[in-house]
Copies of this chain bind each other. A is one copy, B any other.
Amino acid sequence: MAYNELYQYSVVSALMQGLGDYGLPYKELVSHGDHGLGTFRRMDGEMIALDGDVYQMKADGSIIKIDTSGGSDIAPFAQLTRFQASATADVEFKDKQGFSDALSKLLPKTKNHFVAFRVDGLFKCVAVRTAGGQFCRHESIRVLHKRQTTYEFTNVRGSVIGFRSPEFLQGVGVAGDHLHFISDERDRGGHVLEVECHPDVPVKLSASVQTKVHLEFPDDDDYQEVDLNPDSSLIKVVEG
């Protein structure tokens, strides 16, 4: 795929409905990009892809590098791109909102577009959660959300990878900014709940607009029958 075209498998609202049993094999997924995020069968952990490597960040704190040449791992949901920054800046921020403001300043007038981004550097604090996986088929994401594990990493070097999705596509993606983190040592990470820089220690923000979006819809029984009317409030609670 060309640079900066977004590939997405399934939609976030299907995930919200607990559809975690089927998905795209990671072997196939990585042909669509080297940078992105997603999840695994039965939402067992958080996925991050950077520089072509794919990691599973699990609720017990362990991190597994995925064998994308084979293996049986699947993604019920994923967003990937072949990332090439169109703009970069050294930035500092005190929280996620500060990050979003920095991204909006770097790439203004993108409210109706998808944006891919990456932040590299030393962070004062990164708070993450990792989904613990469904015990039962179709288990509600509300239940899953209640027993997620959270971690706080302080003074950690690493990378944040993510996407901004337009408000009017809430349910297709996560409206607003969706961030996953992994440490340089590849030993800590998860879905970012909060992130903070050290004062006067900027991190490197890179980003690019994705005007071409390739959506692939599942075609299994679960997807065919699920009710996908978006519940925006649930997405905000779980993925915000």
Closest residue of chain B to A166 (Cβ to Cβ) is B228
Q: State which of A47-55, A98-106, A139-147, A210-218 sits at the interface with chain B.
A: A210-218
Give Cα A223–Cα B230 distance, bound, in whole angstroms: 24
Closest residue of chain B to A214 (Cβ to Cβ) is B214
Contact of A219 among B166, B211, B225, B226 (CB under 8 A): B211
Contact of A228 among B168, B229, B230 (CB under 8 A): B168
The answer to whether B212 and A110 touch across the interface, beta carbons within 8 angstroms, is no
Nearest CB in chain B: distance from A27 CB, A: 18
A137 within 8 A of B: no
Q: Which residues between 97 and 134 of chain A lie within 8 Å of chain B, taking CB atoms?
A: 109-114
Q: Which residues between 6 and 37 of chain A lie within 8 Å of chain B, taking CB atoms?
A: 11, 13
The answer to whether B168 and A168 touch across the interface, beta carbons within 8 angstroms, is no
Q: Given A110-B224, A224-B110, is A168 in contact with B213 using a C-beta cutoff of 8 Å?
A: no
A209 within 8 A of B: yes
* Residues of B close to A217: CB separation below 8 A: 112-114, 211-213
Nearest CB in chain B: distance from A224 CB, A: 4
A172 within 8 A of B: yes
Report A59-92 CB contacts with B as 1/0, cut-off 8 Å: 0000000000000000000000000000000000
The answer to whether A226 and B169 touch across the interface, beta carbons within 8 angstroms, is no
Closest residue of chain B to A210 (Cβ to Cβ) is B217
Q: Given A211-B217, A211-B219, A214-B212, is A224 in contact with B109 using a C-beta cutoff of 8 Å?
A: yes
The answer to whether B219 and A209 touch across the interface, beta carbons within 8 angstroms, is yes
The answer to whether B112 and A223 touch across the interface, beta carbons within 8 angstroms, is yes
The answer to whether B168 and A230 touch across the interface, beta carbons within 8 angstroms, is yes
A171 within 8 A of B: yes
